A = this chain, B = another copy of it.
Amino acid sequence: MPVRQPPAGDGSRAVTAWLDAVRWNADGLVAAIAQDAVTDKVLTLAWMNREALALTAATGEAHYWSRSRRALWRKGEQSGHVQAVREIRLDCDADAILLRVDQAGGIACHTGHERCFFLKLEQGAWHDVEPVLKDPKAIYGDG
């Protein structure tokens, strides 16, 4: 997957001050929570590098950094399950982002669940307590 260029104008100091304010970790990443703007459910926790956050703000669609694939990733680029971003927030010590999003297709998780947090601790074990809404094979194809 090609790594996209930052949006035009991203090099000027005035434009990037808000990005400089983020306390990027040693890997240049910040944790980013996505919360459904309609249901208020917490959908996902993913990671952003500077470019992903800049693109999220510039395009209004959530972009992340995949730590496993080491690549920039527009959420939903394969599945169609994009996240339209209504609001971007930063926390008090500037090391976590909170997005309020409209989740396309009502599915945020690659497993076909509505969201990634479908495992609930009950009686000392994790239980899948939410349905798979769509077979991942139907989302991503068999390949």
Q: Is the CB of A77 closer than 8 A to any CB of chain B?
A: no
CA distance A89 to B117 in the complex (A): 6
Contacts of A57 in B (CB 8 A): 121
Known: A18-B121, A92-B109. A35 touches B31 (CB 8 A): no
- A125 surroundings in chain B (CB, below 8 A): 17-18
Copies in the complex: 2
Q: In the complex, what distance in Å separates the CA atom of A15 from the CA atom of B125?
A: 9
Measured between beta carbons, the chain B residues less than 8 angstroms from A118 are 89, 92
Contact check, A15 vs B124: say whether CB atoms are below 8 A apart: yes
CA distance A41 to B56 in the complex (A): 21
Q: Do A88 and B120 form a contact, CB below 8 Å, given A17-B125, A125-B17?
A: yes
9 further interface pairs, Cβ-Cβ under 8 Å (given A90-B126, A93-B116)? A14-B124, A18-B125, A31-B45, A33-B45, A35-B42, A44-B91, A87-B120, A88-B120, A89-B118
Q: Could you list some 18 contacts between A and B, CB below 8 A?
A: A18-B125, A31-B31, A31-B45, A35-B42, A40-B40, A45-B91, A45-B96, A57-B121, A88-B121, A89-B117, A89-B118, A89-B120, A91-B117, A91-B119, A92-B109, A92-B110, A96-B117, A98-B117
